[in-house]
Amino acid sequence: MKESNRNQKTVACLGIGMGAFAIALTTLTSYVRAEGEATVDPGKALYEENCGVCHQLDGSGVPFMQPELYTSPRANGDKGGVIQMILKGSKAVEPGTSEFENEMPGFEYLTDEQIALIATYVRTNFENTGGEVTSEDVARERKRN
């Protein structure tokens, strides 16, 4: 084979290789993007299902009925506060101190994982900066009851 011929072949092979790589990359990127769009934050979904009816989907609450969750003291304070609130509902609030007419039910029947996801969602949304809550945190708070 002539030297120039071999070089041409190499270039052609390289071209095909790069093409295949580009296609693979495009496929991968669109796959990842589709995955991202399809994934709903499970904490958000659980919040909307269990809490949204009272605290509203945007966390704005209803005056005198239930508090807004914006810059909520429990959502931003010690993790135990928000976990106990979700576990026990209004029973976690010292009797006679509530400013709200509605009663919050307890959600003890949810799993540690579900409560952790909801608590994390509340603590990292609605301008709250409380941060993440783990299932271990919830398990520890359950034992304190």
Q: Site residues (CB under 6 A) for ligand HEC?
A: 50-51, 53-55, 66-67, 69, 72-75, 82, 85-86, 90, 93, 98, 100, 102, 104-105, 107, 118, 122
| Closer of 34 and 65 to ligand HEC (Cβ) | 65
The identity of residue 3, as a single letter, is: E
| Closer of 4 and 97 to ligand HEC (Cβ) | 97
Provide the token pair at 87. Answer: 């576990």
Among the residues of 39-134, which ranges form H helices?
42-50, 52-55, 73-76, 79-88, 112-123
DSSP bridge pairs for 128: none
The nearest distance, CB 39 to ligand HEC, in angstroms, is 21
Q: Which DSSP category does 127 fall into?
A: T
DSSP bridge pairs for 62: 66
The nearest distance, CB 64 to ligand HEC, in angstroms, is 9
| Closer of 82 and 116 to ligand HEC (Cβ) | 82
Provide the token pair at 72. Answer: 């909520």
Residues 6+ apart with CB under 8 A from 108: 87, 88, 142
The nearest distance, CB 13 to ligand HEC, in angstroms, is 59
The nearest distance, CB 105 to ligand HEC, in angstroms, is 6
| Closer of 69 and 116 to ligand HEC (Cβ) | 69
* CA-atom Rg of the chain in angstroms: 26
The nearest distance, CB 143 to ligand HEC, in angstroms, is 20
| Closer of 19 and 105 to ligand HEC (Cβ) | 105
